[in-house]
């Protein structure tokens, strides 16, 4: 039995997230259909992460097992012929039997894109958050630095009622402005449900004066979602990189 690790990228606009659902089209459903056609057998794939409706991925990994001996390059070429234009398989490699796209993951980097202008960008309406207010980059960097390190992020989780462990480590929280566009990169060992979108939303609330940087310590300690900022819209979020060897 071969265990294959596949890396792909997708534009999440047309999908209700990654994970298969009974009443909506998802990335997993579409990809499984293409893999099954290539291998001429029903295949279940195991993704590295769950993504919400409208969220994108520049690097997303999944694994699956098969007896089929198709050459790896032929698999990549063949499956891309069956996939729609908003999903692309980038590579495929054979990995040890115990390797799992999700459970073997050491960490991830997420990207959040913001277009800051009074006028919307017609070329990025579903690829970046349109934000009309002025951005105080230095203030947002000051706030972002607070999140770096190991903390209990219970206040920054959409639904942690069933989560026993809400402690995560953020290794890097980088904010840069390029013209009218802001790129926010968050690198960590793991993320709670909606965590990155809530962190970004909190930064936007700080930018608007709704929350003060000095209040972040109290918000973090409270483990109360109601105290943190808004949940930023999903279409600005990308799974940017996935780490398996080290982070």
Spatial distance between the Cα atoms of 195 and 214, rounded to a whole number of angstroms: 20
pLDDT tens digits, residue range 36-95? 999 999 999 999 998 999 999 999 999 999 999 999 999 999 999 999 999 999 999 999
Name the catalytic one among 52, 126, 152, 159.
52
- 163 — pLDDT class (breaks 50, 70, 90): confident
* Residue 180 CB-density burial (10 A; 0-12 exposed, 13-18 middle, 19+ buried): middle
Tell me what pLDDT residue 160 has. Answer: 76
pTM (two decimals): 0.95
User: What's the mean pLDDT in 91-109?
Assistant: 96
Q: Which helix (H) or strand (E) holds 220?
A: helix 216-222
pLDDT tens digits, residue range 203-238? 999 999 999 999 999 999 999 999 999 999 999 999
First-to-last CA distance in the chain? 29
Is residue 52 annotated as part of the catalytic site, yes or no? yes
């Amino acid at each position: 039995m071969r265990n294959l690790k596949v890396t792909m990228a997708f534009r999440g606009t047309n999908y209700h997230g990654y994970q298969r659902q009974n009443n909506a089209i998802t990335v997993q459903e579409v990809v499984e259909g293409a893999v099954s056609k290539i291998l001429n057998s029903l295949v279940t794939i195991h993704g590295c992460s769950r993504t919400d409706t409208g969220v994108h991925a520049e690097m997303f990994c999944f694994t699956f097992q098969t007896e089929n001996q198709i050459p790896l390059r032929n698999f990549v070429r063949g499956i891309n012929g069956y996939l729609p234009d908003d999903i692309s398989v980038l590579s495929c490699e054979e990995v040890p039997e115990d390797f799992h796209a999700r459970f073997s993951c050491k960490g991830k980097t997420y990207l959040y894109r913001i277009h800051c202008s009074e006028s919307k960008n017609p070329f990025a309406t579903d690829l970046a958050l349109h934000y009309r207010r002025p951005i105080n980059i230095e203030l947002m960097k000051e706030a972002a630095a607070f999140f770096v390190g190991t903390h209990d992020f219970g206040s920054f989780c959409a639904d942690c009622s069933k989560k026993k462990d809400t402690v995560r480590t953020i290794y890097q929280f980088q904010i840069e402005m390029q013209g009218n566009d802001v790129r926010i990169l968050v690198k960590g060992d793991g993320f709670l449900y909606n965590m990155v979108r809530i962190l970004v939303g909190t930064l936007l609330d700080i930018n608007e004066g709704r929350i003060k940087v000095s209040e972040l310590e109290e918000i973090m300690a409270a483990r109360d979602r109601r105290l943190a900022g808004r949940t930023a819209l999903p279409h600005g979020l990308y799974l940017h990189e996935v780490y398996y060897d080290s982070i």
